[in-house]
Amino acid sequence: MGAIVAIVGRPNVGKSTFFNRLIQRREAIVDASSGVTRDRHYGKSDWNGKEFSLIDTGGYVLGSDDIFEQEIDKQVELAIEEADAIIFMVDVETGVTGMDEDVAKLLRRVNKPVFLAVNKVDNSMREEDAVEFYSLGLGDYYTLSSINGSGTGELLDALVEKLPEGEKEESELPRFAVVGRPNAGKSSFINALIGEERYIVTDIAGTTRDSIDTTYNRFGFEFNLVDTAGIRRKSKVKEDLEFYSVMRSVRAIENCDVCLLLLDATRGFDGQVENIFWLAARNNKGIVILVNKWDLVEDKETNTIKQYTQKIKKAIEPFTDVPILFISVLTKQRIFKAIETAVEVYQNRSKKIKTREFNDVMLPLIENYPPPAYKGKYVKIKFCTQLPTPYPQFAFFCNLPQYVRDPYKRYLENKIREEFDFTGVPIKVFMRKK
């Protein structure tokens, strides 16, 4: 379970630059292949071997400063409630503002680690100006410049020292998380599966900020349901806050093997659902898309299941090998099919292919369609194998790995999918020097 770090502060103090600097270093390595960086408010970073998720609260608020006044309080409340540590960023150029004081007032009451980061300190004059931030009553501060990166090391050293240790999973059971935006029917889906009584019992734990697990054991299936829906929201946090669903989903997704992404058919596969989808895909989790309330869609003639499915596939390219089921939680239509599919996806995700069999299938395909020559050089792939990781990753050994381009890697991925069935599971393909 990764720790979550939230960056808060008023607009234009450099939160996003700092955020990008921390995740870019990593995304550049990890995500160079997929090019899916659609939502820039969430990312993973690591420092001194400790990995954490980073959330930039600033990206969520659009609009003028006065709208911001109300929003920033909501965000800080959220960060306080959800994150394991908080970086509060201020700007040495403008000095302490009223808004900074408001945020500090909220943060002083928190018993979580809070790090005051004074940004834009790029010379010794400014180092002296930073002293005034002691007046915020948050103790020592860290000076840095998010543009050139100076000072970030000291802050991160202090930060990772205070992050909770990730607990190792006790249970061997598969973990399925039900995620999606508010009001898509997540709670009803879980009630339909486990029966109302069971759920009311769990609801007493509504004060926890982590997702609640329920062990499900019926019809020959056994797994843990990681639920984000049943958590009672603090009244202060407005229902519609997009940031909220994302933060909630981050926790559930990091903590599961397969995500059941539930969406409301009448609202469609909108931007927020798409964000949650990519969040799951980037974390290499299995995914099943469940379209709920299909019975409420008017005008079925022009909006057939087939067209609806095409639309979703268009939105999730290039990772389109994902099961999409149309269900109705109300009439319990296909909800067990949904669980069955999740179990299949879980099995696909943990599938191990013997190296010999893998070579027997893949090498002839590569021979028939070798990587295109690059700068007059021919790439020869000699050997391939599945890596011993928790989700499917494959290494292809060749003489010139740097000359194999993304389209060819995608070709290999599609062939692996065709031959071995990895429906619902993100796959990584690496080229290695033999």
Is 187 assigned a ligand-binding role in the annotation?
yes
Lay out the sheet containing 428-433: strands in order across. 381-386, 393-398, 428-433
Query: So what's the pLDDT on residue 59?
Result: 47
Query: So what's the pLDDT on residue 42?
Result: 73
Cα separation of 155 and 143, whole Å?
A: 8
Is 56 assigned a ligand-binding role in the annotation?
yes
Query: So what's the pLDDT on residue 239?
Result: 45
User: In 222-260, which positions are buried (b, 16+ CB within 10 angstroms) versus exposed (e)?
Assistant: ebbbbbbbbbeeeeebeeebebbbbbbbbbbbbbbbbbb
Is 12 assigned a ligand-binding role in the annotation?
yes
User: Taking Cα atoms as reference points, which of 235, 246, 234 lies closest to residue 4?
Assistant: 246
Is 403 assigned a ligand-binding role in the annotation?
no
Is 356 assigned a ligand-binding role in the annotation?
no
Q: Which CATH number is associated with domain 3-162?
A: 3.40.50.300
For domain 175-350, give the fold: Rossmann fold (3.40.50)
Q: In the 8-state DSSP scheme, what is residue 262? A: E
Cα separation of 231 and 218, whole Å?
A: 24
Domain 175-350 matches domain 355-433 at the CATH topology level? no
Helix, strand, coil proportions of the chain in percent (round to 5)? 40, 20, 35
Q: In the 8-state DSSP scheme, what is residue 270? A: -
Is 395 assigned a ligand-binding role in the annotation?
no
Is 292 assigned a ligand-binding role in the annotation?
yes
Question: DSSP assignment of 225-257, as one string?
Answer: EEESTTPPPPTTS-TT-HHHHHHHHHHHHHT-S
Is 198 assigned a ligand-binding role in the annotation?
no
Is 182 assigned a ligand-binding role in the annotation?
yes
User: Taking Cα atoms as reference points, which of 429, 407, 299, 417 lies closest to residue 351?
Assistant: 417
Is 135 assigned a ligand-binding role in the annotation?
no
Q: Is 383 in a helix, a strand, or coil?
A: strand
Is 20 assigned a ligand-binding role in the annotation?
no
pTM, to two decimals: 0.69
Is 428 assigned a ligand-binding role in the annotation?
no
Is 209 assigned a ligand-binding role in the annotation?
no
Is 278 assigned a ligand-binding role in the annotation?
no
Is 74 assigned a ligand-binding role in the annotation?
no
Cα-based distances in Å from 145 to 25, 93, 161, 321: 16, 12, 21, 43
Is 36 assigned a ligand-binding role in the annotation?
no
Q: How many alpha carbons fall within 13 Å on the CB side of residue 272?
A: 22
Is 375 assigned a ligand-binding role in the annotation?
no
Is 401 assigned a ligand-binding role in the annotation?
no
Where the chain has pLDDT below 70, the residues are: 1-2, 25-40, 58-71, 166-171, 195-212, 219, 227-248, 300-303
Beta-sheet pairing, 141-143 with 221-227: unpaired
Instruction: Give domain limits for the chain.
Output: 3-162, 175-350, 355-433
Is 168 assigned a ligand-binding role in the annotation?
no
* Non-local CB neighbours of 94 within 8 Å, separated by 6+ positions: 13
Is 295 assigned a ligand-binding role in the annotation?
yes
Is 426 assigned a ligand-binding role in the annotation?
no
Torsion of CA 357, 360, 361, 363, to 10 degrees: 130
User: Taking Cα atoms as reference points, which of 434, 413, 432, 410 lies closest to residue 423?
Assistant: 413
For domain 355-433, give the fold: GMP Synthetase; Chain A, domain 3 (3.30.300)
Is 123 assigned a ligand-binding role in the annotation?
no
Cα separation of 194 and 188, whole Å?
A: 10
